Amino acid sequence: MENSNKIVFEKSKPLPLYFQLKEVLKEKIEKGIYRPDDIIPSERELIDTYGISRTPVRQALNELVAEGLLRREHGRGTFVAHKKIDQMFLKSLSSFGDEMERSGLSFETKVLNKQIIEKNATLQEIFGEAHQFFYRIDRLRCIEKEPYVLVTTYIPAASAPDLLNVDLEKQSLYRVLESKYGFNISYAKRVIEANNVTEEDADILKIPPMAAVQMTKTTAFQIDSEPFEYSIARYRGDLSKFTVEVKYERK
């Protein structure tokens, strides 16, 4: 709860009242006065504390939610959101571990499932007739001990014999494919979709059912343009954002 001493904003200032409140709340979040998962004071408490009406209070909170600094939970209140992790993987093809090391973040990988399956219609479309059996590997990637992304990976079984016996919690999949199996990894095609999480995935990612996830479908290729991997990644929408550079093309 806010300090009981009322803080009255300068109504004569050229800055709108909602913006003044928004900046105060943002500063408290940046300084760690309000920490991730802390509940923000109610609209009534903010009205009483800052001496302004409901309209600017509501607008300030709405904009902080839109900017990803706050999140609303129906029936519970408004909370400080976790800081989103900026992923640059749209610009380059690298391992999850390499990206996290560059960002200076602690991470871990948990292998939830690994098995051999027969190809389905999707794998048939991507890999054609060359392969009948595939490894399916489900991994949960955590950052700072928080579940971040759930990845399901398919790799032709014949191209990497005995892969399921490799410890993929301690070793990078791409590095294993390069060093152990001689893959010449070159490029990937990615499709990004906004989806609502399934009930099963929500339980693993520790987010509410139907929460937003960013689903990324990746087909990776070797230097000879032969596909070697297909993966489906479900990134928590409250923790992730993606950055890409776009160049202006002159005609």
Domain harbouring 189, CATH code: 3.40.1410.10
184 closest CA partner among 231, 127, 224, 219: 224
97 with 159, same domain: the answer is yes
64 with 132, same domain: the answer is no
pLDDT of residue 71: 82
Please list, in sequence order, all residues whose beta carbon lies within 8 angstroms of the beta carbon of residue 1, skipping any fewer than 6 positions away: 41, 45
70 closest CA partner among 109, 100, 39: 39
Report percent pLDDT > 70 for the chain. Answer: 84
Residue 141 lies in a domain: yes
Domain boundary among 80, 107, 132: 80
137 with 43, same domain: the answer is no
CB atoms within 10 A of CB 34: 20
**Amino acid at the residue 192:** I
pLDDT of residue 222: 95
226 with 105, same domain: the answer is yes
Phi, psi of 176 (to 5 degrees): -65, -45
Q: Which helix (H) or strand (E) holds 247?
A: none
Number of domains forming the structure of the chain? 2
Question: 208-247: per-residue pLDDT in tens?
Answer: 888 889 999 999 999 999 999 999 999 988 777 666 666 7
Residue 12 lies in a domain: no
210 with 102, same domain: the answer is yes
89 with 71, same domain: the answer is no
194 with 126, same domain: the answer is yes
Query: Which burial class, exposed, middle or buried, applies to 183 when counting CB atoms under 10 A from its CB (0-12, 13-18, 19+)?
Result: buried
Residue 187 structure tokens: 């490029």
pLDDT of residue 246: 67
Domain boundary among 26, 52, 80: 80
Torsion of CA 228, 230, 234, 239, to 10 degrees: 30
Residue 4 lies in a domain: no
118 with 39, same domain: the answer is no
95 with 172, same domain: the answer is yes
Question: 156-176: per-residue pLDDT in tens?
Answer: 999 999 999 999 999 999 999
pLDDT of residue 207: 87
Q: What is the mean pLDDT of the chain?
A: 86
CATH code at 73? 1.10.10.10
Question: 31-66: per-residue pLDDT in tens?
Answer: 889 988 889 999 999 999 988 999 999 999 998 887
Contact between 83 and 36 under an 8 Å Cβ cutoff? The reply is: yes
Residue 224 lies in a domain: yes
Domain that holds residue 25: 17-80
74 with 166, same domain: the answer is no
Strand partners, 225: none
Residue 232: half-sphere exposure toward Cβ, Cα within 13 Å: 12
Residue 250 lies in a domain: no
Residue 248 lies in a domain: no
Distances (CA, A) of 142 to 151, 224, 240: 11, 33, 12
pTM: 0.69
215 with 101, same domain: the answer is yes
- Specify the DSSP class assigned to residue 171: S
Domain boundary among 80, 97, 114: 80
Residue 2 lies in a domain: no
Residue 140 structure tokens: 């949960």
107 with 199, same domain: the answer is yes
